[in-house]
Structure 1
Amino acid sequence: MTSKVKLRGSELRDIVSPGRYYPKLLLLLCATLLFIMFTWLPRAAEDKQPSGPLPYVWAANQSREAAVWVRPREKTELISPQMCDPSITSSFPYLLIVVCSAIPNFDARMAIRSSWGKQEELVPGIQIIFLVGNVENTWNSTDLPELEKEAEMYNDILQEDFIDSYANLTIKSLMMLKWFNKTCDLGSKKRVEYLMKTDDDMYINLAKLNAVVRQNRKPTLLMGSLICNAVPIKDPHNKYYVPQYMFSEKKYPNYLSGTGYVMHRETAKRIYETALETPIFHMEDIYLTGITSRKLGLRPQDNIGFSYVKRNMNNTCLISQIVTAHQVKPEQMLQVYGALQSDKVKKCAVLKPKLLRPHGPNRCMWSKKFYSTKIRR
């Protein structure tokens, strides 16, 4: 038989309330719980935030003097294209398109050569070259010998002596301007009148580009897809992060998207000369067409045919009426090029401007303090 023991109320309270006899233990438990709450909860909240490697930005103590990186008095070309040859007047086109590429992007370059950049079907007066940089470990690169073979075969490669990386895109564009001004502006009969900068994931409608350029013949031309009221991003995990020491203003100057913009040779010269006296900013489009052009008092001009937003590449009528399309894969370039050769394109109705590009620059303000109708010299 089991015996039942009856407990008095006071004895029962003593059992279920150990804190009565162990107050220090109870305080310790409470303190531990509070510590866990205050240390773990913030970390849990942080885990919900997007994380990743910090983007590379120029260090505060790193030289941002353009002349240091571009070396304006030195010959920096490692490979030169068959373009702007003083002994061949015909090697100076009316409009030169420089496609910024990277050494491994052979497929993208071949797609362009086989589609919108096809040599035998280029609009008269337009030529195309590809700009690449170098790699850090040249002794260990298998791509360099292949690049040399490619350059020898197509004669359209310009390789400059700088490390090709996202953080060095401004140096890349400055090298383009340096080469262009030194090589392609030699006199009245030996000069290229217009220069376009674009990337190897862009589809360019050469007929429309040619029409736009010839309709805007002026020495101050700087045209593309205009961006206004953009603000610096302060999230250090964002690809476009900008530290305060690199840009301290609240808004960027109005600028053109780096996906594609065109300029007169006089504009190219002035921007390059001004950039050599302007601290480098790592976003090349903001630096060249925004910060530097503002110092010149030069307004970048919007054209609805240019766009930095991905377009519907299946809409052949649309592509036939615009200048640039962004984020186009190599296989898409070939498909679009084939579709544009069809007779159906001739039956396309003229599209309204809002259908050519649904986005536009926000209301753009132009300070009289900076901008005028003439380039400052």
Structure 2
Amino acid sequence: MAITEKHLLRLILGFLVLQWLCIILPTLLETRVPTEIVGNQNLIVLVDKENIIKERKVDDKDTIIAIVDEYLQHHEKRNVRKAEVLNRLGITDCIGCKKFDFNTLLNTGRCLYMPSNKLQILILIMSKPTNVLQRKTIRNTYLTDLQKKPLNYVFVLGKTDDPRMEENIKKESDFYNDIVKFDFFDSYENLTIKSVMAFKWAVWNCEHARFVLKVDDDVWINTGALLRASESSPFISYIGGFRYNDAEPVRKTHHKHFVSEQEYQSEKFPPYCNGPSYIMTIQTAEDISIVADYLPFLHMEDVFIGLCIQTLNYTVTHNPKFHKFEGYRHACYYKSDDVFTYHQIPPLFFNIIQRIKCNERQNFTRISPVDRSQQYQLINKNLTDFSKRPKCDKCFNFQHSVLISNNVCDLGVFHLFVLVFSSATNLNRRLTIRNTYLKPFRRQNPHLRFLFIMGNSNEARVNTMVKEENKQFHDILKFNFTDTYLNLTLKTLNGFNWISRKCRNARYVLKIDDDVWLNAPGLLKSLQTNVPFQHIGGECHFKGQPIRNPASKYYLSPENYPYYNFPAFCAGPSYILRRNVINDIMQISRDVPFFQLEDVYIGMCLYYLGYKVTFLPTFNTYTKFQFHCWFKSDKIQTFHSVSSNFMTQIWRTDCSKYSHELWKQGFHGKNFDTFQKFRPFDSEFRKDINREKINSIESVRKYIQHELVPKIRNDYHQKTNST
């Protein structure tokens, strides 16, 4: 009998537990605590049951009940605070105001890991769904040692209309568990929604944080300096950052920051912090999330937060250590105590800042961001002049085997050898050059001969096409190295080495790229009459300095080039030198360490040789557009960045019937900037020349100002209106 009662008691107890698990527990959890009533709408819960169980590893009913009680108390606290704020401000309702009540699609319980007394700053990083590289870089740089600091972070995203992107974000969230995503489309116009929803999430999930730092994903954060400042008193009362006072709304409709009078009627904005980075107390974040539902919506997020602060009668603290973009500085500057945050830093530079080891005794703060050409020199006083760069003993071996070669330098002495730098894939450019300015010299010319130099392609099909091309034209010089931008120095030295051995009949050598126009008759004429240079000439630079902007194609890190200046050099797209200078360059180059910028490397060799660099005004790397016949005048010998189509137009233009003085003087198109904008201009201009309306520079200027520009504008407006 006793055994039967024991079994019966177990059965009853099991039934009660089953009833709890199947009926009562789901009912508690499905309420999605906490729920706040705003009018007749439910504010979407920012902490849900799945993350409670997942993050705290809940496996018993007592813990679940404790968590539910905790959030019920939290919910009650939020309601009390909301009533206090609204009563103090006398706010009842706002007709037409936007309610920030968007669903949470992805969540994280990162704040649940940290004890309530250990979280000093919560970092809300605003990121676009497509910025995967930025998020990965941030995790690997200033967030790497997060466990040792009282910091926490989340990436805040909106949704996209791309299912594949949504799936990738879900995988990223599952792997890193640091993404919060809301149910609105991520766009510039929705930045206000993103920020307010992020603040609401912070209040519900991380109420024990002292401060909330809002940053964009292109902002560098000096976490050490920021933590030290936040632990001192006083730091900020309400909100702090780079403050704008008396800013005026932009009323130009085409501007990115355009604000209509319907959106904002006043002539000036209230004081506000620059949007990319600012910090506030958790209490301020809660008050902003409350009052935001009762203010007219404004798409400019930082100004909208300023309006919330003004409504709350709070003050905005200016702190210049929250930097907007002021030019790139030495990497150690971003780790100094003068920087809390710095805007517009590309991902590559994040890694450089993180890796660099800084000397604390050096002062990296006393620099002027205005004069960028001297920034690096002022920052790093330990750097020396280029003349201190050491040479080496036969350390540079640049010789590669020749895959394709042609003996074009036989049959006597000639004036000029043209080495055209091309890529294996640039077949169209080579065909254009053969049919334009080099067409008269395709056979053994007594004045000029040429070859196209290139390296190997990674595609076997392209290499085969180059072989077939050479069988037809016999004008290719190809070496066995991969043809890339970083191998331009190898290409130049291999080409010069071939010339020094195989082309001793040439007096001068011209190095040009395949997007350079060459006025061959004009250059040959100057070489036969009065040679304007002693060793080398071109568009030369005498005070060049390395570019420290990581976003630049020509970026040089301090590790790669620890000097603040370059030797004198001629710009790489086109320069001319005597052939005997090439022989000397080949001798000295073995003792000059490799450098990736080809034109600067040749300048280094010339510096060690003591040779003179001459500036030639007829060599143009870049200038404003000119008319076709100007390219055939004695004002120009080489011109960079010319497309194949435009090169053909120059070649086909007959300039013999036009006024020689007009083209000899040349003139800039002051009302236009690019080739595309000049095309209708050029067409109309040639028509009027044929009608003999234009015969002087002054008449050209009058025609541009009074006839042609109004006509083009009128045509443009007619097309726009019809569209």
**TM-score (norm: length of structure 2):** 0.39
Distance 1:68 1:278, change over 3 A: closer
Any idea what SS the aligned residue of 2:571 has? strand
Match of 2:209 in 1: 32
The offset of 1:215, in angstroms, is: 4.0
Equivalent position of 2:616 in the other structure? 303
Query: Structure 1 CA distance, aligned partners of 2:659 and 2:393?
Result: 51
Given that 2:346 and 2:550 are in contact with CA atoms closer than 8 Å, whether structure 1 keeps it comes out as no
Letter in 1 for 2:408: M
Aligned pairs for 1:107-118 within 5 A: 107-118=428-439
Aligned equivalent of 2:404: 79
3-state DSSP class of the match of 1:98? strand
With over 3 angstroms needed to count, the CA separation of the structure-2 counterparts of 1:241 and 1:219, relative to structure 1, is closer
Q: 1:269 corresponds to which residue?
A: 583
CA distance in 2, matches of 1:168, 1:27: 52
Equivalent residues of 1:258, 1:284 under 8 A apart:
yes
Contact 1:134 1:160 in 2 (8 A): yes
Unpaired stretches in structure 1, ≥5 consecutive residues: 1-14, 19-23, 55-63, 186-190, 356-377
Choose from 455, 468, 473 the match for 1:154. Answer: 473
Does the CA contact (< 8 Å) of 2:508 and 2:579 recur in 1? yes
Cα 1:353–1:345 shift into 2, 3 Å = closer
Q: Is 1:175 matched with 2:494?
A: yes
Larger radius of gyration: 2
Q: Are 2:630 and 1:317 equivalent residues in the alignment?
A: yes
Q: Structure 2 CA distance, aligned partners of 1:38 and 1:105?
A: 44
Partner AA of 1:258 in structure 2: G
Give, in whole Å, the separation in 1 of the partners of 2:560 and 2:666: 37
Q: Residues 153 and 237 of structure 1: is their aligned pair in 2 closer, same or farther, counting only changes over 3 Å? A: same
Q: CA deviation at 1:244?
A: 2.5
Residue 204 (structure 1) aligns with: 518
Whether the aligned pair in 2 keeps the contact of 1:220 and 1:266 (CA below 8 Å) is no
- 1:52-201 aligned at under 5 Å gives the runs 68-71=396-399, 76-85=401-410, 89-90=411-412, 92-119=413-440, 124-135=446-457, 137=458, 140-185=459-504, 191-201=505-515
Structure 2 letter corresponding to 1:51? P
Does the Cα contact within 8 Å between 1:320 and 1:345 map onto a contact in 2? Answer: no
SS in structure 2 of the partner of residue 133 of structure 1: strand
SS of corresponding position for 1:285 = helix
Alignment of 1:191-340 (within 5 A): 191-217=505-531, 220-288=534-602, 290-321=603-634, 322-339=636-653
Change (3 A) 1:147 1:52: farther
Contact 2:395 2:592 in 1 (8 A): no
Measured in 1, the distance between the counterparts of 2:464 and 2:425 equals 11
Paired residue total: 312
Offset of residue 247 of structure 1? 2.5
1:104-154 alpha-carbon deviations (Å, 9 max, x no partner): 00000011011111136897511121001112x4xx421111111111111
Task: Report the Cα distance in structure 2 between the residues aligned to 1:65 and 1:31, rounded to whole angstroms.
Answer: 64
In the TM superposition, what is the alpha-carbon distance from 1:213 to its structure 2 partner?
2.3
Same amino acid, percent of matched pairs: 23
| Structure with more relative contact order (C-alpha pairs < 8 Å, separation 6 or more) | 1
For residues 136-178 of structure 1, give each alpha carbon's deviation from its aligned partner in whole angstroms, at most 9, with x where no partner exists. Answer: x4xx421111111111111110001111100010111001110
1:49 is matched with which residue: 335, 344, 348?
344
Unpaired segments of 5 or more residues in structure 2? 1-78, 83-114, 120-205, 222-275, 278-340, 350-391, 669-723
Q: Match of 1:328, SS? A: coil
Structure 1 26/94 Cα, relative in aligned 2: closer, same or farther at 3 Å? Answer: closer
Q: What CA deviation, in whole Å up to 9, does each residue of 1:10-58 have, x standing for no partner?
A: xxxxx9479xxxxx9899766526144489875745896263768xxxx
Aligned to 1:143, what secondary structure does the other structure show? helix
**Secondary structure of residue in 1 paired with 2:419:** strand
CA contact (8 A) 2:539 2:615 kept: yes
What RMSD, in angstroms, separates the aligned Cα atoms of the two structures? 3.5
Instruction: Summarize deviations over 1:50-99 as a string: whole Å, max 9, x none.
Output: 63768xxxxxxxxx99865423xx7x2100023124xxx24x53210000
CA contact (8 A) 1:311 1:326 kept: no
Shift of 1:259: 1.1
CA contact (8 A) 1:219 1:264 kept: no
Shift of 1:292: 1.0
**Structure 1 pair 120–220 and aligned structure 2 pair: CA distance change class (3 A):** closer
Query: Scaled by the length of structure 1, what TM-score is found?
Result: 0.72
1:98/1:129 contact within 8 Å kept: yes
Cα pair 2:396 2:593 within 8 Å, conserved = no
SS at 2:555's partner residue?
coil
